[in-house]
Amino acid sequence: MLLGTAAWPEGPGERRALVGRLASGRLADLNRIEAIRLRKLGEGDPDRLADALVPSSLRRLLEGGPRALSRAKQTLAYAEKWDRRGTLPASLAPLPDAADLLPCLPRPSALHRADGTALDRLAVRGPGVEIGELPRPGLAVLGQAGGGVAGFCLALEEGGSALLGAWMVDAWPEGDLELRAGAARRGTSLGAWEEVALPVLRPGEVLLLPVPKLKPLQELLPGAEVRVATAFETMVLRAGPEGIHPTVH
């Protein structure tokens, strides 16, 4: 299951919501889809019940612990069946190009490195942004109620805070992590982190795992595209207008 946060225009304003990625690539608004599912089941006050069971915020979902994640998985499965029938409205599941994908958890309850050093949780950024440092990509762990691990996302430490990928995957990701910039390719197996001991995490807490030892990039020209890729996400970033050099930050 892939969960994230997206924003899209709605009337004169904007809808920002917890979304699940469907097989078609569409972004399922899980809170609203759960409300419709509950209404069809005849539940009283389905909107309020949906807000409690599958809230429109990933952080609030993590505060609900494993039961809330299990409920979100059921809602996503319901949305998949609806999407395959071809009748799922765009208002409940916009296409990717009709929405902006944000960091999967835009406002963590805490953010820190594996050594315990705190980072600025209020300055988290996500895919598509300009970067001012040579990228050193890795993974982050997201905590849930009960102290367990809710899932993992792509992450890069930057400027005293972090860039988080658009998607949290709720199981250990398999395959490789690859960094691409022009002709340069760097990669490592995601299995490199499997033996890392994880502390007890609070709900919504984000822990950046130790960065793998990749050969550093030499430089990035102004506007150069950088891709951090795994099987579950490709995060696209760009170098700032002045480019990035190893000795200039």
Residue 117's pLDDT is 93
Task: Tokens for 101, please give them.
Answer: 């994908």
Task: List the chain domain ranges.
Answer: 2-100, 104-239
**pLDDT tens across 209-232, in order?**
988 887 777 778 888 888 999 999
d(CA 127, CA 87): 30
Residue 191's pLDDT is 80
Regions of the chain where pLDDT drops below 50: 248-249
Residue 133's pLDDT is 83
Residue 84's pLDDT is 96
Beta strands in 64-202 (DSSP E): 100-101, 110-113, 130-131, 137-143, 149-158, 161-164, 168-169, 176-181, 184-189
Residue 247's pLDDT is 61
Please state the pTM of the whole predicted model.
0.91
The hierarchical CATH code for the domain 104-239 is 3.90.850.10
